[in-house]
Amino acid sequence: MTSSRIKIALIGAGSIVFTRNLLGDILSYAELSDCEIALHDIDEHRLRLAEKVAQRIASRLGVKPAITASIDRRRALDGARFVINTIQVGGYRPATVTDFEIPRKFGLEQTIGDTLGIGGIMRGLRTIPVQLEMLRDMEAVCADGAVHLNYVNPMAMITWALNRSARRVPTVGLCHSVQHTAQELANDLRIPVDEIDYRCAGINHMAFYLKFEHRGEDLLPRLKAIQRAGTMPEWNRVRYEMLRQLGYFPTESSEHFSEYVPWFIKQGREELLHKYNIPLDEYPGRCQVFEHAWPYIERELENPGSQDVSTLEAELAAAQIHVMPRELANAARLLEGLDTIKRSVEYGSTIIHSMVTGKPSVIYGNVLNHHLIDNLPQGCAVEVPCVVDANGVQPTRVGALPVQLAALMRTNVNVQELVVEAVLNQNREHVYHAAMLDPHTAATLDLEQIRAMVDELLHAHAAYLPEYLHS
């Protein structure tokens, strides 16, 4: 291994979907094909699977990176120029299951539960302390000029907390909602996505397209016509309704967006779920798909070409696991993608390539609001266009957002701020405050219910929480 190798650490490498996509992207760049890839996960079995995936991708691409795998985090981080983070503290079982089951007892339903709402709050409380420990490791052992590329939710809370605490390693939060939604809208309009010019800004999972044009034509009127005609995809009714109500199209999926606001998921109002086609418990269903997919993935890694997703479909049907078709398609792509290396829409490799080569690119990143968006609080985490080159990730100024959009975002920023303050100031009372001010929670539960639910969740999650949050 020579000193000229760029070292890239993947923390949470056992998240095989991200590992496959990100490594396929990184190693397909000629300038990065001989880098050092340091894989880390606390689950040694998953880590070994990730190592096999990495080796298989390198073999398929015909490149020779140095691939290492270690359950020692500091060893993986030592000398890294780039750190990519995809961890999930507590995993699907027991943590995410708890995030859904306890609120349901109080009548509070969720779809995803990883960004806002009571599920997002609890995930933030579990994750931010771990990320802060990781940040201290990065600042102790990473290379000069290191950058932390965070894919972990709740994105805004984590980006906010880590950058407030950082001394020399900045965190850039990365998501794929902007580019995925652009492709979805291009499909609705039957226009190639590479012919569309767009500009977005806001907060993670609640950014909006401020410009969406094709050869100088504003496409918002055409999108509004789709909404009026009711010809939007069945799974995207919530966002088209927001276009009608607010005049702009949001970047995050309808199932996500429905739980960031007080209007769509209401106790005793099942007709709203049907009207807007909202899939409750969508994320647990997605996790169940991948739980069942793991044996297939392992066998495929051991014996390439041996697995067929139709077998997985039959098993899911027998287990009566209801999932959205897109998630089953994702499982199928995971199996197929082990040998078919196709560049993903993730920004991680683009950032690394631009910083290493100096070739500029534009990405959407989550950074702190230092005079970037005028009518959102200074210092909160915002999602804006960023220019990337050898100088790093440089956010661009947006100015003022349409007032109705900024007002809606501030209802989410309030919750994010209280979770950040709860952790950084070790103040348990702010957890209750965050839940009280959460739009969906407050629209469903009274104050006594909120306190009782928070107490029960903190007690159930005690093994994953710092002592000052124990009930």
Q: Which residue has the tokens 């303050």?
A: 421
Mean pLDDT (the chain) is 93
The whole-number average pLDDT for the span 145-160 is 98
205 in a known ligand binding site: yes
pLDDT of residue 2: 41
At position 306, the amino acid (one-letter code) is S
The 10s digit of each residue's pLDDT in 369-384 is 999 999 999 999 999 9
Lowest mean pLDDT among 53-57, 140-144, 159-163, 392-396: 53-57
**Burial class for 307, CB neighbours closer than 10 Å (0-12, 13-18, 19+):** buried
Q: What is the 3-state secondary structure (H, E, C) of 351-388?
A: HHHHHHHCCCEEEEEEEECCCCECCCCCCCEEEEEEEE
Q: Identify the sign of the CA torsion 359, 360, 365, 369.
A: positive
The whole-number average pLDDT for the span 346-370 is 98
414 in a known ligand binding site: no
The whole-number average pLDDT for the span 121-140 is 98
In a domain, 69, yes or no: no
18-to-71, 130, 357 alpha-carbon distances in Å: 18, 20, 23
**Burial class for 229, CB neighbours closer than 10 Å (0-12, 13-18, 19+):** exposed
Q: pLDDT over 70 for what percent of the chain?
A: 94
pLDDT of residue 223: 98
**Cα(233)–Cα(253) distance, integer angstroms:** 12
pLDDT of residue 174: 98
Dihedral class, residue 62 (left if φ above 0, else alpha if ψ from -120 to 50, else beta): left
pLDDT of residue 117: 98
- Say which residue, 296 or 156, is predicted with more confidence: 156
In a domain, 277, yes or no: no
The 10s digit of each residue's pLDDT in 296-351 is 778 877 787 777 767 777 777 777 665 555 555 555 555 555 667 888 999 999 99
pLDDT of residue 324: 53
pLDDT of residue 1: 38
3-state helix, strand, coil in the chain (%, to 5): 55, 15, 30
In a domain, 44, yes or no: no
Its pTM stands at: 0.95
The 10s digit of each residue's pLDDT in 37-60 is 999 999 999 999 999 999 999 999
The whole-number average pLDDT for the span 106-135 is 98
Q: Which of 45, 176, 274, 470 is catalytic?
A: 176
Question: Based on the structure, what is the number of domains in the chain?
Answer: 1
Nearest to residue 260, comparing CAs of 335, 305, 214, 208? 208
Boundaries of domain holding 327: 282-337
The whole-number average pLDDT for the span 135-153 is 98
Q: How confident is the model at residue 292 (pLDDT cuts 50, 70, 90)?
A: confident
In a domain, 323, yes or no: yes
Residue 176 falls in the annotated catalytic set: yes
In a domain, 329, yes or no: yes
In a domain, 289, yes or no: yes
In a domain, 300, yes or no: yes
In a domain, 357, yes or no: no
Residue 182 has pLDDT above 60, yes or no: yes
